[in-house]
Every structure is written in C-alpha cells, then in structure tokens.
Chain A
Amino acid sequence: MILSIYSFSTLTASIDKTLHRAMPPSIAVLAEFVLIGLLFLIFYALLGLFLVYLERKVCAVMQNRIGPNRVGKWGLLQTIADLIKLLTKELITIKNADNFLFNLAPFIVIISSFMAIAALPFAKGLQAIDFNIGIFYVIAVSSLEIVGVLIAGWSSNSKYSLIGAMRSGAQIVSYELSVGLSLLSIVIFSGTMQLSTIVESQADAWWIFKGHIPAFIAFVIYLIASTAQINRGPFDLAEAESELTAGFHTEYSGIKFAFFFLAEYINMFIVAGIAATMFFGGWMPFHIGHWEGFNEVMDYIPSIVWFFGKTFFIIYLIMWFKWTFPRLRIDQLLNLEWKYLLPLSLMNIVIISFVVLMGWYF
C-alpha cells in the first residue's frame, strides 16, 4: 500500500525507541510528554499567526481590498509585527476586579482548546492521543471553554464584559447540542467514536458522499452550529463591537488578551479539523469505491496535505460566512437554534438511524 510511505508512525516509533533506549521508561514517557507539548506550543504560535493573517487577507478579498502588504513579502510578517506589539503592551490590572479569577480565565480557555487539539488526527500515525471515545472527548473538553468565558466576563467587573459573557454562555450552551447531535450522526454511520477508526472507515469514500442526503444535512447543521459555538460572525454578538466594545474580553490587555484571541482562532481550526475528520475523511485521500488506479494516484499526495487542505477549505468557508452575513440579534440566534436547528438535527438522527438499519448507504 502506497499510503504507508507517508505514514508518520515509523517516525514516531523510532523516536519512542531512541528515547526508551537512552533513559529509564518513566523519564522517557515524561520526555515524550514534554516533546509533544512543545510541538503543540510551536504549532499553536505558528497557526495563530497564520490564521490571523489569513483572516485579514480573506476579509480584504471579500471587500475588494489588498489587505496587509507592507511588512515582508505579501505582508506575511504583518502578524509577527502585531504579535511583538501585543507582547510589549502593559498588563492593566483593574481596581475592584477579582484578580485571581481575572488572571485564571484566559488559561482555562486556552487549556480547553489545548486538550481538544490533542485528539485530532493530523496525518496517518500523527495523533497525540487516540481515545476509544475520541470525538466525545473532544466535545467534553471543549465544553470547558465556556467556564473561562463566563469567569472572564464576571471577574472584570464591567457591564460590557458581563453582558458579553452572558450572551456567549447562552450561545455556546445552546449550540453545543446541535454540534453534538450532528457529530453523532457520523458516529451512527461509522459505528465508532474513535477518531482513527472513523478515518479508516472512510477509505472507500468520505462519509459526506457515503451518507448522501442525511450526512449532508448533518454537515450543514454542524457548520452553522459550530460557527456559533466558536463565537464567530454572523454569530459574534457576544463581542459585538458596536454594542459591547469587545464583549467578555473588554478589560483584558497584552498577552492575556492575546490568549483569548489565540484560543478563538485555534478553536476555529479545531472545529474545521473535526469537520474534515468526520465528514471529509480527515487525512484519508479522495477515494472512490474500487477504482484501484484512481485511488492509487490519490495516495501519492501525502496524508498531511489532505488533512490541512480540507481543514483550511472549511476555515475559508467559516471566514466567508463572517464577512458576508450580517450579525444576528440574540433572540434570533436562540430562535434559530431551539426552534429550527435542534428539531431538524433530532429528526436527522432518526432518519440516519433508519438509513443505517436499512443499509441505504454506500
């Protein structure tokens, strides 16, 4: 199988073996933890920088502008300059705020996204932890993020922050349901929650094609609900600039603000990565049934390229939403979830169960 030449498992296994040969087992495991943590930290920094740059470029294209183009080639160094500016800013401590909670909140938000990204399968054999409840684990740890947002809003002792936190809390709690239900539909199709097995199950075709209409409905619901869950436009009324200054992170400055900002973009990446894994086959190349020749040609493209290609395609879709749709009102937002999306996804689950029972999928 050609797939195996791009596999990362030989690389990771050899690193594992060298570490175990060099030191006792417990220290070797610890060293691996530190290594993976460092890798993810570097990945976070690079990804955050790149996503902010991408957002500005996409926004510029939508609005018929050029976007950042002065710093570096095509403005590529613009976000690095922004980062340096952000790091040198003063950390403002607020009178009458609960300082302990105020400082804790950004960490809760970023740790929850850190825990979620660990379960993403980036390429064949490149996955930090592969739980047998993979997708459920991702949903579970990403639900912790809301606690950080609520604490941030409350502890800054400001009206804007409090209202922003309440809105964002209501929004995340409600849209979590639709996200969970739409992911559940793929779990029903594949019969497992383990992310690596879900990817393997799409070796003949991706679930969005194999599951045809119900899978497509689930994908659309997931796209809408997850855009709302990560507080992005057109659902960004938690931080609606015109009404609430910046919502729950109004009072934050410097690196603490950067944490919220980074977590927001990384969450977008995680959401897109999960969508790519569940609906578009993750790192699995584009395969069609038993067309051996075609499949083999597709296998020559490395799995990591497939994963990042699909993920950035979905990120582009999410950014497209933000710059084309007007912002919703809070009552419209909750109506959309509770009156339309939730009944629709419940019905979709019933249909999918029926389709799976009858074997009406490929």
Chain B
Amino acid sequence: MFYLLSGTILTFSVLTITSRRMLRAAVYLLFVLVATSGLYFLLNYQFLAAIQLTLYAGGIVVLIIFSILLTGHISEKFKNPAPWKLWMGASVFIVGSAVALWALLSNELVRDTGVEEVQIDMHLIGNQLMGTGKNGFVLPFEIISILLLASMVAAIVIAKKENN
C-alpha cells in the first residue's frame, strides 16, 4: 500500500511540472495531495489526513483552480521555458535533493521505536493547541491569528474601491 501511494505521489508530481496545460497540472497536484493524505491514513493519523484533505485538496487546489478558471482559457498551453530557467531549476533540484539525501543518510533511522500506537484524539490536540505549559502551542497560534487578521485587512483594502 505504501509503495502504491508513494508511486502515485511520484508519478503525479512529475506530471504536475511537465504538463503543458495549466488546469491539468492543478488536477495532478490534487492527486499528489490526496495520495499524501492517504499516507497519513496509512499511519493511522486520521486527524492530519483529514486536515490535509480539507486544507490542501479542498482549499488550496480549489483556489488555484478558481484563479485558472477566472484567467485562463482552455486552448492555452505553456510554452517551453527558457534554457536558463531550466538550468536554474535543475541546479536547485540537485542541491535540494542532495541536502535531503545527506540529512536522511547521516541520521540513523530508528526501525522500531517500541512505542505503542497511540490514538490521537481531539481532546489531546485541543489541549496542546491552546496549552500554555510545556509543548503548548498557544503563542504560535495567536501569532498566526494576527498574521491572518493582517492579511484579511490587506485583502479588504486592496479590494475596496477608491471613493473620490
């Protein structure tokens, strides 16, 4: 099951960046994200899987598709990118995967931690998210909410008509 899911992720990731049509790329991205949530289901971490589905698949991909719907046309296709961009992309890819590989290989992977499988329930997540004690996340939570408020205000300011 794991190989099936990761195979899906790999295939559709490659298709996402090689597709010449914008909406198809977005749909391939959707498949990647859904398969990722499948990985979380496989780990029995259903909360994160559902978050992945609502936020990424249901939220972000829908936003992307919406913007394509508003701007793009069906016959539109991407041109081949300029060579220097290709080279830049390839070098970023090589450096990034080298760093990731180095990090993976230099760490000793723990095969069996001996920790029993825990069912993470809602109360635990809620208490941690709002907790002020050790491992409490209330400060980052509040900071993110301020960021969200700021961006909402900015969106309203941009969308507002000038009143002369």
Contact = CB atoms under 8 A, between A and B. Distances in A.
B69 to A, nearest CB: 5
B31 to A, nearest CB: 10
A155 B74 contact: yes
Contacts of A192: 121-122
Contacts of B74: 96-98, 154-155, 157
Contacts of A154: 23, 65, 68-69, 74
A201 B107 CA distance: 47
The 8 closest A-B pairs by CB, nearest first: A143-B58, A140-B53, A140-B50, A140-B54, A157-B74, A150-B65, A136-B50, A131-B46
Please tell me the size bucket of the interface on B.
20 to 34
Contacts of B46: 131-133, 137
A102 to B, nearest CB: 10
Given A101-B24, A140-B50, A96 B75 contact: yes
Given A96-B75, A100-B24, A192-B122, A147 B65 contact: yes
Q: Give the interface SS of chain A, mostly helix, strand, loop or mixed.
A: helix
Contacts of B122: 132-133, 187, 192-193
Interface residues on A, range: 20 to 34
Contacts of A193: 122
B7 to A, nearest CB: 19
Contacts of B9: none
B119 interface: yes
A262 interface: no
7 contacts: A100-B24, A131-B46, A132-B46, A133-B50, A140-B58, A154-B65, A173-B62
Nearest to A137: B50
Interface string B34-73: 1000000000001100110110011101100110111000
Contacts of A101: 23-24, 27
A345 B61 CA distance: 26
Contacts of B59: 143
A312 B107 CA distance: 57
Contacts of A91: none
Contacts of A153: 69
A214 B74 CA distance: 47
Contacts of A98: 21, 23-24, 74
